[in-house]
Structure 1
Amino acid sequence: MKYKILIALILLSVITGCTAISNTSELSQVKEEQIVLTTESKPEDLQNGPNVLHAKAQQFFYKKDLDGIKDTLTVLTDKYPTSVEQINAIEKLITTLSEKLEQEKEQEKKEAAKKQAAEEKRLEEKIEKMRTNYDLVKDITWYHDKTTTEGVDRSSFALYFGEQTTGYPWLRIRLQYSGYEWVFVDSYIIKVDDTTFNINPSNGKIKRDNKDGKVWEYYDALVTNEIYNIITAIIDSETTIIRHQGDQYYFDWFVIEAEKKALRNVLDAYEALGGKEPE
């Protein structure tokens, strides 16, 4: 009886072992098949295939990156020369974007030309308001507003500027008194609305002369940043009074609207010709 039981156990062990070997072999085969499937489930087509390259080309199209589309087409034709549909589609993107970029370029040229023409017209309009005098010896063209006085026989307050063939134009200011009595001006007090400014020329800067019983005293100088700020304040003011101050006497000049407009005209022409705000 014991012998029979032993034989049965041995037979059962052999059968179980064979089954285990069979299951192990099948499991190994399944794993190998899974590896194959995993490898085949990520082909080059899904990573950088024709459709993916076409999609990339479309992204470059929306970014207006013509070189990016061309590079993408090169990759596509090298790797997938038979993908005629995608190749044609990308070539169409290249053609469309090339035409669009060319149109934009032409439009930019037209806008630039239009802007240039407008600037030239603006410059011409500003210069038309100027009276010009050319100094042949010094090669300087002087610009004055047409409404300002040309001589020394009238009191005035004005701006003007000079320009040479090279370099930037430069601004000058002229404060002028003319009358029958000497003031012996040595400084200027300028009341602009509620603000008071002072200009104190150094000795010898204020010129004096007379003829036929009439005298004149004037200060003609380069415009500094301080004077430039005074001028812009005067242009925007309601009321401006310039006092020509002497040791014993003074002369008050009320700046009228026509003079403010002349100041503005000179600044506009000055800036149109490349003039900059003094430092």
Structure 2
Amino acid sequence: MKNVTLLTYTLLLLFSVSCGVPQADFDRLKKENEKLKKEIAECELTPAEILEKANVYYDASDFTKSREKLKTLIAKYANSDEGKKGKRLLKRVENKILETARAQNDQDTEVEEEEKNEGLSEKEEKERKARQKKKEAAIAKMNKKYDINDDVTWYSDKSSTKLNTKNYIQAYIGKKEKKPWIGISINYFSKKKWLFIERIEIIADKKTFELEENTPGEFNSKEESGGKREWLDRVIKNEDMLMTKAIASSKIAKIRFVGKDDVSTRTISKNEKKAIKNVLEAYVALGGNIK
């Protein structure tokens, strides 16, 4: 009603002064009048019409305008069928906006690199290309998966297992924007009995490293596939990096699970060590530091 009153006033003002006011003022009033007409038309849209407009913008890849329409729909008609559909569509729209921003960020980074490399000598350019080729080779050994909900790209060695019924020690990488981090995942599985793991020991050649809970409950356990699964998954901090590097470079490495009443020890395989080494190299290629 307020907009209608304002529109009426503006129309009257336009009519009364059109013959006597400067052209600039007349044009401004005319523009405001058109804007008010548009706002009133928007207010009169039904929930179905608002949702339809949001879908049209979405199909045209105009995600910003689609988001605006969806937020209006949800604010005014949250409990309607269209409002519920709008909430679901809004999640997709937000993800698309995030993807677009991420792609733009990658493009900007490439432009920055190109500008940085301008003016290099022939020798420097050759060295740069060799480093770039090495980085690409390291990353090519990884499986890459983008988590659209958390805006994180995950990297893991192509030989890494996803089976929870296997005993393994694996490293992986997470990257958000420009900053990567590295994590370690250790899985123990038995068809016999629970170990109730209290600590894990890594013996790499003659060096021994201990992993204990940083917080209560960090050692997880679950009955799965007819057996007992116990595992640890954490981001590697400085104290764990030495251990990870030692495993990758070791001739013989063993992992010992120290439980409440029992101990289980196995040899870390060559494939596991190679995979961890690959992850460390990819981590450096992505901008990480293992020193």
> What secondary structure sits across from 1:169 in the alignment?
strand
Letter of the structure 2 residue corresponding to residue 221 of structure 1: R
- Tell me how far apart the structure 1 counterparts of residues 153 and 223 of structure 2 sit (CA, whole Å): 28
Determine the C-alpha separation between the residues in 1 that align with 2:248 and 2:224. Answer: 33
- 2:195 and 2:125 map into 1 onto residues whose CA distance is 55
- What CA distance in whole angstroms lies between the structure 1 residues aligned with 2:224 and 2:273? 30
Q: Which residue among 136, 153, 168 is the counterpart of 1:156?
A: 168
Contact in 1 for aligned 2:222/2:229 (Cα 8 Å): yes
1:238 aligns with 2:251: yes
Query: Could you tell me how far 1:151 is from its partner in structure 2?
Result: 2.7
Identity %: 31
Look up the match of 2:264.
251
1:222 deviation in Å? 1.0
Tell whether 2:122 aligns with 1:122. Answer: no
Provide the aligned length of Structure 1 versus Structure 2.
172
The residue number in structure 2 matching 1:4 is none
* Counterpart-to-counterpart distance in 1, 2:212 and 2:130: 42
Match of 1:176 among 173, 181, 187: 187
**Structure 2 CA distance for partners of 1:249 and 1:128, relative to 1, 3 Å:** same
Match of 2:152 in 1: 140
Change (3 A) 1:182 1:266: same
Which amino acid letter does the alignment assign opposite residue 264 of structure 1? K
CA distance in 2, matches of 1:107, 1:187: 54
**SS in structure 1 of the partner of residue 283 of structure 2:** helix
Quote how far apart the aligned CAs of 1:108 are. Answer: 4.2
| Residue of 199, 204, 214 corresponding to 2:227 | 214
Query: Once the two structures are superposed, what CA deviation does each residue of 1:128-187 show, in whole Å capped at 9, x if it has no partner?
Result: 110112111001111111111113121100111100123x20010111101212211121
Alpha-carbon distance in 2 for matches of 1:131, 1:210: 28
Find the residue that maps to 2:144 and give its secondary structure. strand
Question: Alpha-carbon deviation of 1:120?
Answer: 2.2
Q: One-letter code of the match for 1:260?
A: K
State the partner residue of 1:274.
Answer: 287
> What is the aligned partner in structure 2 of residue 62 from structure 1?
none
State the Cα distance separating 1:225 from its structure 2 match: 1.3
What CA deviation, in whole Å up to 9, does each residue of 1:90-113 have, x standing for no partner?
Answer: xxxxxxxxxxxxxxxx99433333
Unaligned 5+ residue runs, structure 1?
Answer: 1-105
2:112 corresponds to 1:112: no
Offset from partner CA, 1:186-208 (integer Å, 9 cap, x none): 21112222232211113200111
| Coordinate RMSD, CA, aligned | 1.9
Aligned to 2:131, the other structure's residue is in SS state helix
Cα displacement (A) at 1:121: 1.5
* Secondary structure of residue in 2 paired with 1:258: helix
Q: Quick one: which of 193, 200, 203 aligns to 2:212?
A: 200
Q: Is the 8 A contact 2:171 2:185 kept in 1?
A: yes
Equivalents in 2 of 1:140, 1:107: separation in Å?
A: 34
**Structure with bigger gyration radius:** 1
- Distance in 1 between residues matched to 2:142 and 2:196, nearest whole Å: 32
Contact 2:249 2:277 in 1 (8 A): no
Q: What is the TM-score normalised by the length of structure 1?
A: 0.58
Work out the CA distance in 2 between the residues paired with 1:121 and 1:193: 32
Aligned ranges for residues 51-130 of structure 1 at < 5 Å?
Answer: 108-130=120-142
